[in-house]
Amino acid sequence: MAHADEAALARLLPLLRQLREIKALREMKPGIFYLKGSAFIHFHDDAGALVADLKKTSGGGFDRYPVDAATGQRKLVDDAKRRAARSEED
């Protein structure tokens, strides 16, 4: 599954703005965020449905979030803030 393209990311501008406000994150390419030099959040277009992958706090891998609806976007932002803060404590 390919990363979301520019047109898909344009549908997520308010969400991307919120993620860009998380100080610990660096947006290396549009929609691809890193934390401490490691991939942290990125987006996919899964047959027209937009999803985000957020790095798990332990065990490696990513958790998938549907982000077409506001509830999924809020959950992603909340979890990203929490995980980034936890990483800052380490």
Q: In this predicted model, what pLDDT tens digit does every residue of 6-48 receive, in sequence order?
A: 999 999 999 999 999 999 999 999 999 999 999 999 999 988 8
Q: What predicted TM-score, i.e. pTM, was given to this entire model?
A: 0.93
Q: What is the 3-state secondary structure (H, E, C) of the chain?
A: CCECCHHHHHCCHHHHHHHHCCCCEEEEECCEEEECCEEEEEEEEECCEEEEEEECCCCCCEEEEECCCHHHHHHHHHHHHHHHHHHHHC
Chain segment 50-70, per-residue pLDDT in tens: 999 999 988 789 999 999 999
